[in-house]
Amino acid sequence: MKSKMVYVDGIHCQHCKDDIFDVLMTLNEVDFVEFKEGYIEIILNDDLDDSIINEIIENCGNYKVIKVE
């Protein structure tokens, strides 16, 4: 298993987290999404390009992906 840390600006409430969680969990490569202090940890079962993560999160609402590690 591989994980990615995604730093996102614009997450202010549980509703924001729920929206992002729901859309990321639709991806076959994603096993789990966990919100940590200051970033989102995405647990992957297969490779997933950072640009796809960026696009999905930013299209989910008024969010800006700062970086993906």
| pLDDT by position in tens, the chain (length 69) | 899 999 999 999 999 999 999 999 999 999 999 999 999 999 999 999 999 999 999 999 899 999 999
Domain hosting 51: range is 2-68
Q: What is the CATH number of the domain that holds 55?
A: 3.30.70.100
**Tokens 């990321």 map to which residue?**
24
Bridge partners of 7?
67
**Tokens 């992906």 map to which residue?**
65
H or E element that contains 32: strand 30-36
Buried b (16+ CB within 10 A) or exposed e, 21-31: bebbeebebbe
The total number of structural domains in the chain stands at 1
Task: Please state the pTM of the whole predicted model.
Answer: 0.92
